[in-house]
C-alpha cells in the first residue's frame, strides 16, 4: 500500500484502506452462524472487534485478564446491541496455567468455534519474567496465544468439519516485527536481562506471531484442515498500548538523521533534528488511526468472503503486505514451533 496510501486512506486492491472502519469492512456480512473468541476483548481494538462481530450476529467470547473490564465491555455491547450473544471468560496470557484453565472452561461450554482472534498484547514494558519464568512480552504476546491456539485447534477442526464453514485464526502482529534482535528470535538468551531491549523484545514477540502463522498454516494445509491462519498489523492506534509509538518512531528518525548529517556542525545538527522531530509529530498524527479503523483489518481478515482459502499471509490496512525477510524463514518458523512446545511442556 505504501506510505501515501496510509496517510491518504486510499483503498488498495481489496477495496479498503487505512481509513476504512470495522463496520465498513463487515457491511453485509452475516456472522450469525459463527462463534468467535477475542483475546483482549475488554478494551481497545479487541473490544471494537468483539462489538462489530456481535453486530454482525456472531456469538462472542471475550477473553480478558480483568473480569471487571470484561463485564463492562459486555454491558457496553449489549447496550448498543440488545440481542448480542456475549460471554466472558478469564484469561491471563502471561500464565500458561490460566491459558489451560480458559481452554478447559470454554470447551466445557460445548460451543462450536469458528473464529479465534489472538488480539491481546503488551508493549515496551521493562524486563520482567512471567510466572512461568519467561520474558513477559514473549510470554504474553506470543507463547500464551501459541498454547491457546493448540488447545482449541481440535474444536476448530471439528467445527469446520461438521458445519462446512471455514475456520479462521487471526494473529495480531505489528510492523514492529522488522525491529527485532539480529537472529530474529533469541532462543538461548530469551530470558537474559543483559541483552534485553524493550522495543526489540516487542518486535521479537510480533515476529514470533507471524512465524507461528506460517508454520501453523503449513501444518493445517498438510492435513487438509478447513482452517486458515493469517496475521495482521492494525496500525498506530490511539489506545494505551500505543502510547509510546511516537517515541519509537522518533528514535528511528533521530538515528537516520544522525547518519545523514553527522559531519555537520553541532548547531546545524541540533536545528535540523528539532525541525525533523516536529515534522514527525505532525506526520505521525496523520498516521494515527481511530480504534474503529485499527480494528478494521482484523475484522476484514476474520470475515470477508474474498479471503476464503487465503492462509499464511500478512495484512495491513485490509490488504496483503510483504513481511520482513526473517518472517519468511521457514526453518526459523519450525525451530520456533519446537522451542515453543518445549517451553509449554516444561511449564506443566
Q: Catalytic one among 142, 181, 196, 202?
A: 196
Q: For residues 152 and 106, give the distance between their C-alpha atoms in angstroms, rounded to a whole number.
A: 9
Question: What is the distance between the alpha carbons of residues 234 and 44, in angstroms, rounded to a whole number?
Answer: 11
Neighbour tally for 105: CB within 10 Å: 15
- CA dist 147 and 78 (Å) reads 30
Contact 114, 122 (CB under 8 A): no
Residue positions counted in the chain: 348
Measured distance CA(261)–CA(346) in Å, rounded: 50
Strand partners, 275: none
The CA–CA distances, whole Å, from 312 to 112, 210, 323 equal: 23, 8, 11
Residue 255 designated active-site: no
Closest CA to 97 of 144, 38, 40: 144
What DSSP designation does 142 have?
I
- What would the grid cell of residue 264 be? 555537520
**Which residues form the catalytic set?**
196
Amino acid at each position: 500500500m505504501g506510505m501515501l496510501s496510509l496517510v491518504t486512506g486510499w483503498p488498495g486492491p481489496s477495496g479498503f484502506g487505512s481509513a476504512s472502519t470495522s463496520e465498513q469492512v463487515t457491511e453485509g456480512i452475516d456472522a450469525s452462524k459463527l462463534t468467535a473468541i477475542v483475546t483482549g476483548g475488554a478494551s481497545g481494538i479487541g473490544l471494537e472487534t468483539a462489538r462489530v462481530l456481535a453486530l454482525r450476529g456472531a456469538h462472542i467470547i471475550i477473553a480478558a485478564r480483568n473480569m471487571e473490564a470484561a463485564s463492562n465491555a459486555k454491558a457496553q455491547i449489549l447496550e448498543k446491541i440488545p440481542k448480542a450473544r456475549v460471554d466472558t471468560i478469564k484469561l491471563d496470557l502471561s500464565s500458561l496455567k490460566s491459558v489451560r484453565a480458559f481452554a478447559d472452561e470454554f470447551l466445557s461450554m460445548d460451543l462450536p468455534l469458528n473464529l479465534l482472534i489472538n488480539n491481546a498484547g503488551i508493549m515496551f514494558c521493562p524486563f520482567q519474567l512471567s510466572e512461568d519464568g519467561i520474558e513477559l512480552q514473549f510470554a504474553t504476546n506470543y507463547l500464551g496465544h501459541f498454547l491457546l491456539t493448540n488447545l482449541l485447534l481440535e474444536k476448530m477442526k471439528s467445527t469446520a468439519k461438521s458445519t462446512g464453514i471455514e475456520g479462521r485464526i487471526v494473529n495480531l502482529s505489528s510492523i514492529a516485527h522488522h525491529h527485532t534482535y539480529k537472529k530474529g528470535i533469541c532462543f538461548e538468551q530469551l530470558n537474559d536481562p543483559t541483552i534485553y531491549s524493550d522495543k526489540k523484545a516487542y518486535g521479537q514477540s510480533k515476529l514470533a506471531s507471524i512465524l507461528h502463522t506460517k508454520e501453523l498454516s503449513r501444518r493445517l494445509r498438510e492435513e487438509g484442515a478447513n482452517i486458515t491462519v493469517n496475521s495482521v498489523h492494525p496500525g498506530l492506534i490511539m489506545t494505551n498500548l500505543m502510547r509510546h509509538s511516537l517515541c519509537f518512531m522518533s528514535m528511528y528518525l533521530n538515528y537516520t538523521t544522525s547518519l545523514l548529517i553527522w559531519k555537520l556542525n553541532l548547531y546545524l545538527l541540533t536545528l535540523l533534528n528539532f525541525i525533523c522531530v516536529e515534522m514527525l509529530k505532525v506526520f505521525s498524527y496523520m498516521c494515527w488511526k481511530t480504534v474503529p479503523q485499527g480494528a478494521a483489518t482484523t475484522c476484514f481478515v476474520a470475515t470477508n468472503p474474498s479471503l476464503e482459502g487465503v492462509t499464511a499471509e500478512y495484512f495491513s490496512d485490509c490488504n496483503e503486505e510483504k513481511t520482513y525477510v526473517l518472517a519468511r524463514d521457514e526453518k526459523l518458523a519450525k525451530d520456533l514451533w519446537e522451542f515453543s512446545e518445549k517451553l509449554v511442556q516444561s511449564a506443566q
